[in-house]
Amino acid sequence: MLAFALVVSIAFFEAEPGLEATQQAAAHKAAGDSVDDASRTLRARRAHWAPVLHAQLGLKQDERARRGVFRSAPLIEDDTSAGRAGSVVLQWDFAQLIYAREESSLALAHAHLARLRTDAASQAAKLWTQRRLKRLSLPSGAQRLGAALELISLTAELDALTGGLFHDALAREEAECASLSGEAKP
């Protein structure tokens, strides 16, 4: 009987996510992938290789009519002028090419995200281990319902931390707990 229970519990645990998958899911849910961090830094560095483009175009039209007397002679002048001026400037900030100001803030953000990932992974490992031990030491009889409720609580925490990785296990444990509470009522 004990060997059968051991085989059933091993088969049960094989259907669930392992410790490594649980930690990865928790880290990903907490702060995304670390590959995205490197991608953000690379984009910030490459963005400064593109020049800043300034373009300007100016049009000027001028019409003047002068009428009067100059040295006792009548003066009539009609001046019309038109002018266009334009410029295009490409500008690089060479200091930004060496070290972009955004890199220091990105480095701090990446360190914070790495800390979040580590904390989430360690919390997930702790819950996963507690859940595994609780599952292996489920008592029989009247105390089984209370232990099953504690197991559901641990599984729900783990499911929330990993973004739904333990949804199926939570549903199974809720169904098992419902059947246990149905047996305890009569």
What is the per-residue pLDDT across 57-103, written as a single tens digit (0 to 9) for each? 888 887 777 777 777 777 777 777 888 888 888 888 777 777 777 88
Domain residue spans in the chain?
2-49+96-184, 52-91
Q: Which residue has the higher pLDDT, 6 or 51?
A: 51
pTM, two decimal places:
0.64
Q: For the residues 5-17, what does the mean pLDDT come to?
A: 57
Q: For the residues 42-53, what does the mean pLDDT come to?
A: 80
pLDDT exceeds cutoff 70 at 115: yes
In SS3 terms, the chain reads as CHHHHHHHHHHHHHCCCCHHHHHHHHHHHHHCCHHHHHHHHHHHHHHCCCCEEEEEEEEEEEEEEEEEEECCEEEEEEEEEEEEEEEEEEECCHHHHHCCHHHHHHHHHHHHHHHHHHHHHHHHHHHHHHHHHHHHCCCCHHHHHHHHHHHHHHHHHHHHHHCCCCHHHHHHHHHHHHHHHHHHCC
Is 39:30 a contact under the CB 8 Å cutoff?
no
Mean pLDDT of the residues in the chain: 82
